[in-house]
Amino acid sequence: MRELKFCPHCGAETLTFQENKKWHCPKCDFTLYHNVAGAVAVLICCGDEILFTQRNQEPKLGKLDLPGGFTDPEESAEQSCARELHEELNINIHPEKLRYLTSLPNTYLYKDILYNTLDLFFEYQIDTKMEMQLELSEISKVVWVKRSELQIDQLAFDSQKTFFSKISNF
C-alpha cells in the first residue's frame, strides 16, 4: 500500500499507520481510520447451478466471481445486491426474496491500497435462466456452474473460496 505521509489536518509529515486500521499524527493527535468496507455477493441459483461472472478487470482478471460489489453510503445490503445486479447484469430482482447466508472477512487490492472488506453472502433463487446484458467494463461473460462441478481455484476471492469450501452446503 502507498503510505500516507502528510497529516490532512496539520500538514506535518508525521503520519504513521497503526494497528492495521488507522493513521495517526503525533504532532496534532489527528487520527484517520481505514475502516472495513461492506460488500455483497449474490448466489443466483437455478436448480443445481450457480451463476458466476468472469472478471474483465483487475484485481483477479479472468477469474470467476459472484455478482455483487461494495455497499454505497446510506444503502442496505439488500439494496446493494439489487443495485449491483442491475449495474452488472441489467437484471431487476425482488430484494425481499434474497436469503442471507453468512459473512466473511476479505481483502480487496485496488490501486495499491489494500481494503479490508466484510463480504455478505446472499442467495437468490430463480426458476429459469434470464436474459442479461453485461457491464463489459467489469464482466467478460457469465458462467453457470453446477454445484458439484465448481473448482475452488477458479474463484477470484478468498472469501468466496472459504464460503464454497468450508461454509456452504453447496
- C-alpha pair distances (Å), 153 with each of 55, 63, 107, 157, 160: 14, 9, 17, 10, 10
Predicted confidence (pLDDT) at residue 170 exceeds the cutoff of 80: no
Q: What is the pLDDT averaged over residues 71-80?
A: 97
Cα distances (angstroms) measured from residue 4 to each of 12, 18, 36, 42: 11, 12, 18, 34
| Residue 169: predicted pLDDT | 66
Domain residue extents for the chain: 1-35, 37-167
What nine digits make up the cell of 94?
425482488
Q: What pTM value is reported for the model? A: 0.89
Local confidence band at 116 (pLDDT 50, 70, 90 cut-offs)? very high
Q: Is the pLDDT of residue 130 over 80?
A: yes
Rounded mean pLDDT, 84-108: 96
Please report the pLDDT score of residue 69 as a whole number: 96
Give residue 1's pLDDT band: very low, low, confident or very high (50, 70, 90): very low
C-alpha to C-alpha distance for 63 and 65, rounded to whole angstroms: 7
pLDDT, tens digit, 9 for 90 and up, residues 151-165: 999 999 999 999 999
Tell me what pLDDT residue 3 has: 73
Please give the average per-residue pLDDT across 1-20, as a whole number: 88
Q: pLDDT at residue 111 above 90?
A: no
User: How far apart are alpha carbons 118 and 122 in whole angstroms?
Assistant: 13
Cell of 136: 463489459
- Regarding the domain with residue range 37-167, which homologous superfamily does it belong to in the CATH classification? Nucleoside Triphosphate Pyrophosphohydrolase (3.90.79.10)
For the chain, the average pLDDT equals 93
The whole-number average pLDDT for the span 97-105 is 97
